């Protein structure tokens, strides 16, 4: 199953968000924001970050231009590649595998991308995306394609199942060095799971 979600400025609400905010705020106090950046998993140069919470495996991959094009091509939506790469957005591919013995409910709207002081973003919604897209008939086609791939309600992931999809966040002018993707939308047997994936912003200058 494939899901695409989208991001705007937001406040911190859930436990994962609060935990992530405390973490990145502490780490970012002495660092300067990075202007022309890409994200890598904290402590490495890999674009992928994986955590396992109560048997639920969550992997997030930051999609730069190359990986975004590859992902869209694999999903059969290569026609969206040029348009999406021109938008001021950051893209993540999220893969969730339920290794627990009970179903997991996931609400993709309960997500925050934050860096401890400069930015706290929630997924972009369709009204924001509509304004970002260039006017014309192509805008309607892009929105129709994305709507087919977007989840706007809670999804239940049964034991042994895998869910995969994208998050789209507004790309700020600069990002703090330490970044967290806080996912407060996970519920195992009705109980919330604290899922936080940490990244570092590094300069693209010279790449």
What is the average pLDDT across 185-196?
A: 92
In the chain, at which residue ranges do the beta strands (DSSP E only) sit? Answer: 2-5, 8-9, 37-41, 48-53, 56-63, 89-98, 104-106, 111-114, 120-122, 155-157, 162-170, 178-183, 186-188, 191-192, 195-203
Non-local CB neighbours of 115 within 8 Å, separated by 6+ positions: 24, 28, 33, 175, 176, 177, 178, 179, 180, 201
Look up residue 133 and give its two tokens: 């897209």
**CA–CA gap between residue 70 and residue 85 (Å, rounded):** 12
The per-residue pLDDT for 128 is 87
pLDDT value, residue 125:
86
For the segment 170-176, the average pLDDT, to the nearest whole number, is 91
Rounded to whole angstroms, how far apart are CA atoms 55 and 141?
Answer: 39
Q: What letter does residue 78 receive in the DSSP assignment?
A: G
In tens, the pLDDT along 54-81 reads: 999 999 999 999 999 999 999 999 999 9
pLDDT in tens, 97-141: 999 999 999 998 898 999 866 788 988 888 888 899 988 888 888
Measured over the CA atoms of residue 165, residue 169, residue 173 and residue 175, the dihedral's sign is: negative
The tokens for 46 are: 């890999």
Enter the pTM of the model: 0.84
The number of helix segments (H) and strand segments (E) in the chain equals 5, 15
pLDDT of residue 194 exceeding 50, the answer is: yes
**Residue range 79-92, pLDDT digits in tens:** 999 999 999 999 99
């Amino acid at each position: 199953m494939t899901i695409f979600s989208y991001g705007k400025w937001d406040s911190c609400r859930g436990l994962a968000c609060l935990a992530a905010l405390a973490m990145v705020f502490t780490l970012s106090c002495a660092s300067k924001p990075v202007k022309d950046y890409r994200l890598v998993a904290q402590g490495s140069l890999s674009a992928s970050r994986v955590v396992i919470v109560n048997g639920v495996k969550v992997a997030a991959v930051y999609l730069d231009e190359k990986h975004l094009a590859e992902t869209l091509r694999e999903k059969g939506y290569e026609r969206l590649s040029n348009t999406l790469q021109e938008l001021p957005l950051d893209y993540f591919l999220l893969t969730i595998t339920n290794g627990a013995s009970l179903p997991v409910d996931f609400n993709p709207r309960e997500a925050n991308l934050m860096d401890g002081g400069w930015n706290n973003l929630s997924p972009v919604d369709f009204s924001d995306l509509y304004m970002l897209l260039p006017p014309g008939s192509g805008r309607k086609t892009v929105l129709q394609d994305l709507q087919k791939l977007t989840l706007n309600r809670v999804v239940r992931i049964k034991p042994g199942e895998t869910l995969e999809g994208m998050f789209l966040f507004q790309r700020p002018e600069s990002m703090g060095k330490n970044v967290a993707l806080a996912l407060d939308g996970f519920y195992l047997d009705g109980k919330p799971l604290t899922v936080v994936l940490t990244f570092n912003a590094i300069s693209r200058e010279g790449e």
